[in-house]
Structure 1
């Protein structure tokens, strides 16, 4: 064990590494319940994806790829289907009205993984990280956080969207252009799902404030227990224990339900697929880089910059392969989880931490009936809290300098309000290139615009001009 993971060299022990791996698993195990709910449109199957199939894919992808990270890179980082991109995956399918299937979505994720492999091998991936200003990187994280929060609010019923006719608006030259408006409302407090979501928000928030390890997971489980004592209007319990071991889920995993290699390469030629692939690629690019570098710094690997960068480069390759591997078994983009920092804080320094976490995910394959009990309101509460945690990156954005502040705001605002991650990233990049160039030419500051930013800006403008959704 010591020879494989270099435990003594890294100043750690088997016990410390195993405990760190268990800690990482506890902090990110919520994805086992949340990801199937999101990708199957909260258990309704509206996206065409089967809840059980996604659960199995989540556990297998997270388990196998995390173990590979530990064995081949000796890095204490765990991977699983990422929050934000799973929501984007589902909304693209639902918003298409049936023209964009989940098979096409999985194909887009698979292709983005291949792109990652090429970008990693050619070192372009690292170059892109340098090209985009830090404020935009942090803004992407914040925007995705708000995007996730709105999805949680909407699916729990705590936020409702109503279309109201403007009958009371005085007739005028603008009235004909505004036949309706979209209005956000708070959900009914008499709705059992809304109440359960609020309870979940309170429980998870309290556990986080008390600094309980695995606060989100334990909050979800406690909310599920509360749901056992709450009833729907028809008298049925919100959480029905009678469904344990039903046909939907069994204790022994039925791997025949996996959406294995369900790709549609012919279908992805439809308009809009380029935008989807670029979004998956672009967001994952910054998400993974930030997580890997941040974890490496926390673990002390970056003290030796050459060795640290070499290890991060290897980790990026495993991550890239994991993206396509996840799509192969039937789930959205797999990425490095920032929750890995919890294991590092517990003393995890080697790949044994990751291997332990990966084994836990594989063992979770036998817990599908329990995960299936978790109501949508509980996972919706978790989504909102994850949005809060991602919002913390806003403090890293320099709003005093509006050359950075305006593009950052556009990035943050356009994601949730247009219900599209790509829109936020696109407006952020184009506005930064424009403002930084104008400011530099007018002598208002020496702002750097990397040539790759110009390439991205041009591609984005062309996309909105000539490619329809």
Structure 2
């Protein structure tokens, strides 16, 4: 084991790696409860099926990351992309061309195939370089606000009032609602634990809120345990539930591109950040080589996750918690992956978690993603204006795609204008112009849909 994972060379040992893997699992185990709650909420997907898909996808591809890349990074269905998946399916129900869960999973699967091709041809790196860092960080912030809005809406803290003309108005929800009360309790517990720097604060906050909800009679333990088995029911999974004909008929090119685009920057930023923190980038050549392999495993994980029946699988920034505990090799990832596989026998416990607790987790994740705002150069309007549009368009239009689209178009236009006026030497990559042309065509001739 020491030779396989090069533990001595990396300055670590088996005990440290296992403890680091357990730490990573504890910090990201909340996805086991949150992801099924998001993807099954009005989409037609089974809660248990999504739970099993989440656990299996996280387990299988995290172990693959450890064995084939020797990288201490865990992967699982990503926050933001799962919310986007759900919103696309649910929002389409009121249109003439509704998007079924099978179509959504097909779009995720295709985006994974695109990732594999982009990774093999190394175009993926070119696409990452094409977008300025400020805009990449703005995408993270915008998704964070988008997730927060979803959490507030699901909890009842925020109310969306619909008018006869189809317009909507956001207002404060009913604070006397018990669901809102438990959400506020969960927010307080998680926030306090985070301030106290308790590892796995989100998970422990969810657990504590669940216990309080049980004591308060908000959750019925007896009914939950009596109606659900501890043995996994794989028949509930949406295994390879694809509809390629439907994707072609509805025209989900925009959806596929959105999955691809967001995952592109999310994964790259996470892998580079965690690799740097683990000391892997001290040798740039070796570091880039391992990140390239990690991207390939991640790309396979995207399609593999769709086959299992869940939204886009991506590298988790929570992996940095395990790295902070000394994790330096793939043994950390293997340990985390094994924990996820074992969790398939814990479904009744996950069912106990109230929606209020998972809603609070969404809001707190929004806080964590908001931290990237400090990396945006708001002193330079060429970056500030597009970044601002990305951040505000995502939550206010309830669309990640709209935010990215407006931000990229405005950056290309403003950077070119500044260069023509000799007010700067801004880089506008030719691939960015390709994206701009696609975006403009989409909004002018396809109505942005």
TM-score past 0.5 threshold: yes
> For residues 4 and 80 of structure 1, what CA distance do their matches in structure 2 show?
24
Q: Aligned-pair distance for 1:394?
A: 0.2
> For residues 143 and 408 of structure 1, what CA distance do their matches in structure 2 show?
9
Closer, same or farther in 2 for the Cα pair 1:437/1:418, shift >3 Å?
same
Indicate the residue corresponding to 2:27 in structure 1. Answer: 27
Which runs of structure 2 are paired with 1:44-123 in the superposition (5 Å)? 46-97=42-93, 99-123=98-122
Q: Aligned-pair distance for 1:229?
A: 3.1
Where does structure 1 differ by over 2 angstroms across 4 or more consecutive aligned residues?
Answer: 179-183, 243-247
Q: Aligned-pair distance for 1:272?
A: 4.3
Q: So what's the TM-score if we normalise by structure 2?
A: 0.97
> For residues 289 and 337 of structure 1, what CA distance do their matches in structure 2 show?
11
Q: Secondary structure at the match of 1:61?
A: helix
Indicate the residue corresponding to 2:334 in structure 1. Answer: 355
Q: Show structure 2 runs of 5+ residues with no match.
A: none
Root-mean-square deviation over aligned CA pairs: 1.1
**Could you say which structure has the larger radius of gyration?**
1
Which runs of structure 2 are paired with 1:348-387 in the superposition (5 Å)? 348-387=327-366
Indicate the residue corresponding to 2:371 in structure 1. Answer: 392
Q: Show structure 1 runs of 5+ residues with no match.
A: 166-178, 231-236
* 2:153 maps to 1:142: no
1:228 to 214, 218, 224: 214
Which runs of structure 2 are paired with 1:16-415 in the superposition (5 Å)? 16-41=16-41, 46-97=42-93, 99-163=98-162, 182-230=168-216, 237-247=217-227, 249-415=228-394
* 2:423 maps to 1:444: yes
Which runs of structure 2 are paired with 1:416-427 in the superposition (5 Å)? 416-427=395-406
> For residues 223 and 389 of structure 2, what CA distance do their matches in structure 1 show?
45
Q: Secondary structure at the match of 1:5?
A: coil
Indicate conservation of the 8 Å contact 2:69/2:290, yes or no. yes
Indicate conservation of the 8 Å contact 1:85/1:332, yes or no. yes
Q: Aligned-pair distance for 1:190?
A: 1.1
Closer, same or farther in 2 for the Cα pair 1:180/1:51, shift >3 Å?
closer
Indicate conservation of the 8 Å contact 1:106/1:332, yes or no. yes
Q: Secondary structure at the match of 1:228?
A: helix
Q: Secondary structure at the match of 1:161?
A: strand
Q: Aligned-pair distance for 1:446?
A: 1.1
> For residues 149 and 2 of structure 1, what CA distance do their matches in structure 2 show?
43
Deviation per CA, 1:186-237: give whole Å up to 9, x if none. 111210001111111101100000000000000011111111133xxxxxx3
Indicate the residue corresponding to 2:12 in structure 1. Answer: 12
Q: Secondary structure at the match of 2:159?
A: strand
Indicate conservation of the 8 Å contact 2:99/2:250, yes or no. no
Deviation per CA, 1:333-380: give whole Å up to 9, x if none. 000000000000000000000000000000100100000110111100
Q: Secondary structure at the match of 2:170?
A: strand
Q: Secondary structure at the match of 2:93?
A: coil
* Larger helix share, 1 or 2: 2
Q: Aligned-pair distance for 1:317?
A: 0.2
Indicate conservation of the 8 Å contact 1:139/1:411, yes or no. yes
Indicate conservation of the 8 Å contact 2:202/2:361, yes or no. yes
Deviation per CA, 1:298-319: give whole Å up to 9, x if none. 0111111001000000000000
Q: How many residues align?
A: 445
